[in-house]
Chain A
Amino acid sequence: MIDTFLTAALVILAISALGCLYRLLKGPSVPDRVAALDSIGILLISITALVCVLFRTTAYLDIVLVIGILSFIGTTAFARFIERGEVIEYGDDRTGR
């Protein structure tokens, strides 16, 4: 019985990922695209959890955490790159550049 609900939820999540993909391809500014990428990462987390339930296995539950961490780090790095032009700053020592 729950497989029907899971399939329906997976289809709905795929449609919303397509919507985010539209914004990722079209978005007029770079932060638009970054927000769409963040949304796609969050959708990937939920898709992974649903696939776990669908296959009746707990093997993929680590991937939920890994995708969450990587998506956050990616969004942070993109935001810093947009704002300052570099991802990692080297303290107060500005003589090197």
Chain B
Amino acid sequence: MIALAGEIAIGIIIVLGSIVSLISAFGLIRLPDVYLRSHAATKSATLGILLILLGAFLYFLIYMDHFSLKLLLGIAFVFLTSPIAGHLNGRAAYRTGVALWKNSVRHDLEQASLQGNNEKK
């Protein structure tokens, strides 16, 4: 009975992670802009993979007596690299002049680049 309850708990964790990944994919489709899309693609995908790998780790630990360090390393690695990849991608998009969404209300980097041009003159 306890084993069944544990399986159901792990299954709920895993399904929750996959639902978060699905929300991330919806954001990737629906949001209007590269920068907003990278928000959806980076953060919620990281949370989804955290939940899924945690569920797999708990299953291997409890039911197969296998302490899988590789899954923990995978979680740590995704947590380290996913924001860096999102940042690099966003910077590449901005520097190659991908336009912001037309309804964006703030554009701080535009002010900064204008000031930089004035100082050069």
Q: Decide if B70 touches A65 in the complex (CB within 8 Å).
A: yes
CB within 8 Å for A31 and B92 given contacts A5-B15, A16-B24, A36-B41: yes
Counting residue pairs across A and B whose Cβ atoms lie within 8 Å, the total is: 176
- Who on chain A is nearest to B46 by CB? A42
For A16, list chain B residues within 8 Å (CB). Answer: 18, 21-22, 24-26
Residues of A within 8 A of B (CB): 1-2, 4-6, 8-10, 12-13, 15-20, 22-23, 29-32, 34-36, 38-39, 42-43, 45-46, 49-50, 52-53, 56, 58, 61-62, 64-65, 68-69, 71-72, 75-76, 78-80, 82-83
Majority SS at the chain A contact face = helix
How many B residues face the partner with a CB closer than 8 A? Answer: 56
For A71, list chain B residues within 8 Å (CB). Answer: 85
Q: How far is the CA of A42 from the CA of B18 in the complex (A)?
A: 11
Q: Decide if B89 touches A34 in the complex (CB within 8 Å).
A: yes
- Who on chain A is nearest to B31 by CB? A23
Q: Which of A2, A20, A65, A72 contacts B85 (CB 8 A)?
A: A72
Q: How far is the CA of A43 from the CA of B11 in the complex (A)?
A: 18
Q: Which of A2, A17, A52 contacts B11 (CB 8 A)?
A: A2
CB within 8 Å for A1 and B11 given contacts A9-B17, A49-B56: yes
A selection of 10 A-B contacts at a CB cut-off of 8 Å is: A5-B14, A20-B25, A22-B29, A29-B98, A35-B41, A35-B86, A36-B28, A65-B77, A68-B77, A80-B92
Q: Decide if A46 touches B73 in the complex (CB within 8 Å).
A: no
